[in-house]
Amino acid sequence: MRREQEFLDLLHGRLAELRSGAETAVREALPSAGNNAQARLERDVLVSEQAGLLAAFDAGENGLCFGRLVFRDGRDHHIGRLGIRRDDADRTPLVIDWRAEVARPFYLATGHTPMGLRRRRHLTTEGRRVTALHDEILDLADAVRTGHEGADADAVLLASLDAARTGRMHDIVQTIQAEQDRIIRAPHDGVLVVEGGPGTGKTVVALHRAAYLLYAHRAQLARRAVLIVGPNPAFLRYIEEVLPALGETGVLLATPGELFPGVTPTGTDTAEAAAVKGGAAMADALARFVRDRQILPDPETVIDHEDGELRLDAETVYEARRRARETGLPHNLARPYFAFRVIDALTAQLAGRIGADPYGGPNLLGPDDIAQLGKTIAASPEVHDAIAELWPALTPQQLVADFLADPVHLPDADADAIRRTGGGWTPADVPLLDEAAELLGEDDSAARAAAEAERQERIAYAQGVLDLSYGSRTQEFEDRDEEDSEVLAAHDLIDAERLADRQEEADHRSAAERAAADRTWAFGHIIVDEAQELSAMAWRLLMRRCPTRSMTLVGDPAQTSEPGGCGAWETILAPYVGDRRHHVRLGVNYRTPTEIMEIAAAVPRSADPSFAPPRSIRSTGTRPWALRTDEVAGAVAGAVARETREAGRLAVIAPRARHAALSAALPAASAGASPDLTSPVVLIDPRQAKGLEFDSVIVVEPGEFGTSDLYVALTRATQRLGVIHTGELPAGLAALAPADAAAPGR
């Protein structure tokens, strides 16, 4: 213990040196960038790198070192969150990053396959203090004993699992299991599907995989960023501290409803509407709706012009539309081709009228005359109005709003389900907006023209500055010697264009920040949690964000509950990668005790006798209980009062329709769309409970849940589970013990 404490003191001292060096580098770099673009770029790169190091140093402060490997050949390595070298001159590692290949025996070695180890040590620390050691002997010929050997190889894991929840997911870097390690370090190319039931650690494995990929492929992924998609904002807050604790901050966390920049969903859909909007048929319906906006005149469009009326008949417009569609460009990008054809047709019409030879000869107008006529037509507001009516420029928001107001190209029942005029955007609208953006394209010619005009203004201003500077200094140099005239020549090398470019500020945002603001960003890797819940339209959005199909998909089809959720992996992936995917299944339940899992598994098994839940590795000896009552709110309040005598966090999981009454009975509980999960008591529904875990859970009115939602609700507890109900219990829950026999304290 003393030697490990001395080592930990040394390690924290070295970390303090590294932190101080990074802080000094940032402090000295900021005011010393120089006056040229190269110097500023070098400064920005240095500051960004050092700021990233500081974030990693701060994150690694807690649990800096958690393991030690002693090899048969004499090698001896400490394992930790960060790789730290002894000093700048001596490159010998003090502690090895857990993601390094040499650290793998810490997670994979067994007595049967020791991977060259004599012993493996787990260090438990609190802050900067070593509090416990646990040694595993892997070489039976090793006779040395430290007094910290343990017969139970899983003691550290079980201690972690039994610890009280904090309302935030914690990392498992110290207790990664072999099956988890293989998933974490799997190649990042292609689609990896990680399936597992409740409590198997799917989410935390996926987060550690993100940290590993950023370590192993830093240059590529730091530039393109990693996107982690979660089911709801509460879940993202629950997991948000895991990657920073592992030293990684360059990751974008988002829900599917947050993946269209500039749109924040505030509305809600009925289950039927969400299912319709999420269906694959919506893509075709929107595409046909866009083509509907490319209309033909009936029978013709008449345009007022100073040289007489101009007429666009259906045949002329049809030909212009056909040629524009043949470009294969999105609607807004094809629009200029349509406009050019229309303007050419109107120019020919006007030229034929004005330049006609009364004696039947060739047109009297020359090429220059016709070109001038074309310019006047192209500048005509009336012509622009006609083109806008026949082929309007559209925004995604405008298109989707118009479609929802009149949902054509859908069956009547589906159209009625989603028809809406006004109101805020809903999460199910976001994939529709993204689809619309793809169909429309963005005509940025006006923006580019404005940017170039602004740049020319800066150049003109810079030239004026240089002219003033040159004029005021010319006389100064006239009477000086030849050496001074060379200084003036050097001054002339700074032209107005380069001076103007210096005025532009570089984009200092991280890759994740830039990706969040750019709908067309292509991520280096995407991790999707609760992947079975995403609709077909949401998958179209995500696949556009990752053209390389480098993805990790995490979920459990048995827990599918969202309207429109794809559920089956084949349904999700076949349209994009066929069967070119790697599938792994986690089969060990680390969260849910055996007593709770036996009850929970009976729910899906009542509908599917072949259902096989993950195997729980722990038992608490506490049986789940049930209480039938006529007054739900009071019974829940009493149960919460009893449960909160125990340490940890408690969740009341109830149907959304019962939340108002329960909130009144539980004034201290955090509730609503985004409850504070660090609160001792939270009130949520099963959809909000996805991916979360609590020490105690009280499920209210299970008969009002669907099978998947009830299975989710019953598997959130790590210690204690109670059920409060008024009617008969659903199939599978009959084995619950009465409250008077199993309730806390009895």
Annotated binding site for ATP: 196-203
| Cβ neighbours of residue 572 closer than 8 Å, sequence gap 6 or more | 531, 532, 534, 539, 553, 566
Q: Which of 520, 571, 561 is nearest to 541 (CA)?
A: 520
Please enumerate, by residue number, every residue annotated as part of a binding site.
196-203
| Cβ neighbours of residue 270 closer than 8 Å, sequence gap 6 or more | 417
CA–CA distances in Å: residue 156 to residues 159, 162, 173, 246, 335: 5, 10, 12, 19, 65
Residue type, 598: E
| 711/731 Cα distance (integer angstroms) | 12
Tokens of 328: 């294969």
| 393/399 Cα distance (integer angstroms) | 10
| 432/274 Cα distance (integer angstroms) | 11
Q: How far is CA 626 from the centre of its chain?
A: 39
| 3/1 Cα distance (integer angstroms) | 6
| 430/436 Cα distance (integer angstroms) | 10
Residue type, 332: N
Residue reference for tokens 């209980």: 625
The single-letter DSSP state of residue 728 is P
- What are the percentages of helix, strand and coil residues in the chain, rounded to 5? 45, 15, 40
| 53/44 Cα distance (integer angstroms) | 14
Residue reference for tokens 């829940």: 636
| Residue 477 · residue 485 · CB < 8 Å | yes
| 552/370 Cα distance (integer angstroms) | 60
